[in-house]
Chains A and B, each alone.
Chain A
């Protein structure tokens, strides 16, 4: 699932779905069917592969890729949405499965999937927003769970979730920008999890995406639901809506 989602995201970014069709006839539908087959018919959540590991990460991945291809109708969206609801915790957050500890990364996947499904109305937004904004520490950085250390990747998981809930202003953006910038290696260029650590691609992506959400000058606008440039998701989603309608009519 995870590699498939990355593959779809790359194809979307390169506007290459047509080329995929030329090379593999019905390629897009095949991808969609592969993903759809990973949905658990009983609970509505998704497995990562035929091995069967389940996690709200995979559910989000499925919604991400299917929506980019305009194929969300291949899965039982309502059932998946009910599953996400069952992952809501007493503190307002969401975990990997029902009653698993609230975790900012999992919250991103749950809120992202609900946003794609158009069901943010099911979220206790004030309570979740409060929990998310509570993640900011005095040094400006964000952690992923209470009493954990700050890490640049949570800049993304927390901020994107706040952005989807239109509550990004509930944290101090200037302090967070400052923290993220401190994590850059001025010679190597990339970003690390926290200042002074070794840089890597993973943290660099989330640092840049986070800075983009904070309107840092010179960066393209990022889509908080997909972690891709807004120009790309606009193009894909605009087209897939049309595609969905055409298919609905047949």
Chain B
């Protein structure tokens, strides 16, 4: 027999009649399950059919999740079992941590964690675990989404530690778009479109500029910077002096950032008398600095000739 966990000769399971998977007589595309997985699933079907909520059922789901963490039916049953038997939810989190670390791309683990942490009604320890997860992959979409959920659930928008933390993440990797999105989320997310206080506006503009100076060819802080300017309803021209640090039409061979050139084109387009400059910037992008998207830049150029050219 192959190594693994089996139930058919386990006395603790002798009262259960397993229910095998019904694939029909000639399955068209039968999945090559391992014997271990097939058997565990057939015992799970049996306990689910009986609505059995028990400690052994919990262990069974653990076994199956370790083999196939994407099986949401198993999670659903586990969740119900925890509730029915009044299990220790701290122990559940303790088990979830290494399981999540083993299955970095899994979606379901995070939904389950939300259910548990919501019931625990405390975010204690979660920040540390998130840090451990992000050490494996600092752009893990599920982890960042979960962090957003935590901020919303426990009202952490204006907690200074949250901003400090995300700033640390950006310091570590200025190209981490997930971290930039999180910064936007905590600074703007709790605001519901309300005006940014002057001090925060200045802080955010300065921070984005500081990050761009570190790595000018980096889309995230440019998007952030322009997003802030738009949110504050400022004209793009407030960024002109800054943008010229990286792209100046007077020095077309020394452009350090296609994003700067792109922004410059929009600044010139905003000023009606500067359309020729805007075209020059877009030409540089189409021919020299970003030719792979020449059609896009040429489209932008065509927009300039229309009466209402708004970027």
Contacts and interface: CB of A to CB of B under 8 A. Distances in A.
Contacts of A49: 72-73, 76
A147 B189 contact: no
Nearest to A130: B296
A147 B153 CA distance: 29
Interface stretch (A70-78, A95-103, A112-120, A209-217): A95-103
Given A99-B185, A100-B145, A101-B141, A134 B219 contact: yes
A211 B175 CA distance: 30
A24 to B, nearest CB: 15
B295 A170 contact: yes
Interface string B48-62: 000000000000000
Interface string B7-19: 0000000000000
Given A90-B227, A91-B223, A147-B219, A171 B292 contact: yes
Interface string A39-64: 00000000011111101000000000
Most A CB within 10 A of own CB, among B107, B139, B177, B311 = B177
A20 to B, nearest CB: 16
Contacts of B81: none
B269 to A, nearest CB: 12
Interface in A163-178: 167, 169-172, 175
Interface in B169-200: 175-178, 181-182, 184-185, 188-189
B141 A90 contact: no
B293 interface: yes
A51 B79 contact: yes
A136 interface: yes
A126 B107 CA distance: 31
A146 interface: yes
A243 B95 CA distance: 51
Contacts of A169: 295
A180 to B, nearest CB: 15
A245 interface: no
Most A CB within 10 A of own CB, among B145, B176, B224, B294 = B145
Interface string B277-311: 00000000000000011111001000000000001
A64 B220 CA distance: 32
A44 B293 CA distance: 36
A192 to B, nearest CB: 16
B108 interface: yes
A101 to B, nearest CB: 4
B230 interface: yes
B218 interface: yes
B242 interface: no
Given A100-B145, A101-B177, A146-B177, A90 B139 contact: no
B134 to A, nearest CB: 14
A76 to B, nearest CB: 23
A148 interface: yes
Interface string A115-153: 000000000001001100110101010000111100000
B299 A170 contact: yes
B10 to A, nearest CB: 28
A53 B72 contact: yes
Nearest to B188: A90
A101 B181 contact: yes
A90 B219 contact: no
A51 B223 contact: no
A50 B230 contact: no
Interface in A79-121: 89-91, 95-97, 99-103
A66 to B, nearest CB: 21
Interface in B182-240: 182, 184-185, 188-189, 218-220, 223-224, 227, 230-231
Nearest to A97: B145
A138 B292 contact: yes
Contacts of A146: 175, 177, 218-220, 223
A100 B178 CA distance: 9
A133 B220 contact: no
Contacts of A90: 184, 188, 223-224, 227, 230-231
B144 interface: yes
A170 B148 contact: no
A50 B293 contact: no
A170 B111 CA distance: 37
Contact of A147 (B72, B148, B177, B296): B177
A102 B299 CA distance: 24
A148 B139 contact: yes
Contact of B220 (A55, A97, A147): A147
Nearest to A49: B72
A228 B299 CA distance: 30
A103 B141 contact: yes
B195 to A, nearest CB: 16
Contacts of B107: 53, 55
Given A146-B220, A147-B219, 7 more contacts: A51-B111, A53-B72, A101-B181, A133-B293, A145-B177, A146-B219, A148-B177
10 contacts: A90-B227, A96-B145, A99-B148, A99-B181, A99-B189, A100-B148, A100-B181, A129-B296, A133-B296, A146-B175
